[in-house]
Amino acid sequence: MGYIMDLRKTVGSRPLIMAGACVLIFNHEGQLLLQRRTDSNDWGTVGGSLEIGESLEEAAARELYEEAGLNAGFFKFITVLSGKDMYYKYPNGDEIYNVMAIYEANDLQGEPRVNDDESYELKYFSLDEPIEHINPFTEHYLRKAGYIRKW
């Protein structure tokens, strides 16, 4: 997250508008791959912010590899989420308003593995039941995008 970290040196924790991509990875049983994050110690999706000159699809591909060690043959665009309810405050106090493109990764190559220092572990979860220790913001946008309906 070089670009955002550079901005943080100037603006501190003040709210930023952050454009990025979220990548949903489903196994053959329809379970969603989540990462237990090192910054919040809860479960969240793979994804992150754009770097200078990067497209949303390029950010999705980069984050998929950086955070899960996977490559996708193609991405299916799902939706873009934005607005005041896309606000998030990180445990360190940094504030953002997300503009988030959500993609499903398809035709995956590789086996999921922790590939950077942003995750402790990766695990597949069913979306049919509540996920213990899911990041509240992750739950919010999965619900907003229509992936969680029952809980």
In a domain, 151, yes or no: no
Q: Which residue has the tokens 């299916």?
A: 76
Residue, of 151 and 36, whose pLDDT is higher:
36
**One-letter amino acid for residue 5 of the chain:** M
74 located within any domain: yes
- The confidence band for 58, taking pLDDT boundaries of 50, 70 and 90, is very high
Considering its fold, how many domains does the chain have in total?
1
The answer to the question of residue 12 being in a domain is yes
pLDDT at 26: 97
Query: How many Cα neighbours within 13 Å face the side chain of 100?
Result: 26
Stretch 106-128: mean pLDDT: 95
Residue 28 inside a domain? The answer is yes
Q: Are 92 and 1 in contact (CB under 8 A)?
A: no
Tokens of 80: 């873009």
Write the pLDDT tens digit of every residue in 121-142: 999 999 999 999 999 999 999 9
Question: What CATH number corresponds to the domain at position 138?
Answer: 3.90.79.10
- pLDDT band at residue 3, thresholds of 50, 70 and 90? confident
User: Left (φ > 0), alpha (ψ -120 to 50) or beta: where does 12 sit?
Assistant: left
* pLDDT per position as a tens digit, 71-102: 999 999 999 999 999 999 988 999 999 999 99
Cβ atoms 127, 143 nearer than 8 A: no
On whether residue 100 sits in a domain, the answer given is yes
Is 10 a domain residue? yes
CB-count burial class (<10 Å; 0-12, 13-18, 19+) for 72: buried
- 29 located within any domain: yes
For residue 41, the enclosing domain spans 2-144
pLDDT tens for residues 15-25? 999 999 999 99
Closest by CA position to 142, among listed 113, 151, 133, 115: 151
On whether residue 149 sits in a domain, the answer given is no
